[in-house]
Amino acid sequence: MHENQISPSEWEIMRVVWTTHPITSKEINDILKEKKEWKLATTKTLIGRLVKKGLLSTEQKGRKYEYSPLVSEKESIDESIDDLLDQMCDTKVGRSVETILEKSVVSKSDLERLEALIEKKKADAPKEVKCTCTPGQCSCVH
């Protein structure tokens, strides 16, 4: 599990800051008013936690602060993906990708890039993926 996990509520904040920064707590709260019924105090608590976790930086501007991200959205998403993959047997990843693809709308160019990637992977894809699970935690034969 990754340390400094970003909780679901904290993600809401991070997404705002990734989109616009530097940004103040008030501005963050205004944007989130649309989606969450949070008191300003709630937003501030979450911001404080993110600062403490080292995920947001602060810069004092007069009597207020402006916040900026210290981690990128891509790396954060990638960590979430890692955590997801860590909880399933390697042999199930292919099926899961299929599931994601089935339930999502992706663009033509996404599909083209994926197709190219698949073509490339075909070269050295194994016939069967090797399972590395602890014996008893998946049905693969060990």
For its own copies, the binding residues (CB under 8 A) are: 1, 8, 11-12, 15-16, 19-20, 31-32, 34-35, 77-78, 80-81, 83-85, 87-88, 90-111, 113-115, 117-118, 121-122, 125-130, 133-139
DSSP 90: G
Determine the Cα–Cα distance for residues 18 and 23; give it in Å rounded to an integer: 10
Shortest distance, position 45 Cβ to its own copies, whole Å: 18
Using alpha carbons, select from 4, 11, 62 the residue that is nearest to residue 35. Answer: 11
Residue 49 touches which member of DNA, its own copies, none, C-beta under 5-8 Å by kind: DNA
Find the binder of DNA among 26, 35, 95, 113 (CB under 7 A). Answer: 26
| Residue that the structure tokens 């970003």 belong to | 6
Find the binder of DNA among 33, 35, 39, 95 (CB under 7 A). Answer: 39
Asked if 8 interacts with DNA (CB under 7 A), we say yes
Determine the Cα–Cα distance for residues 74 and 105; give it in Å rounded to an integer: 20
Strand partners, 56: 69
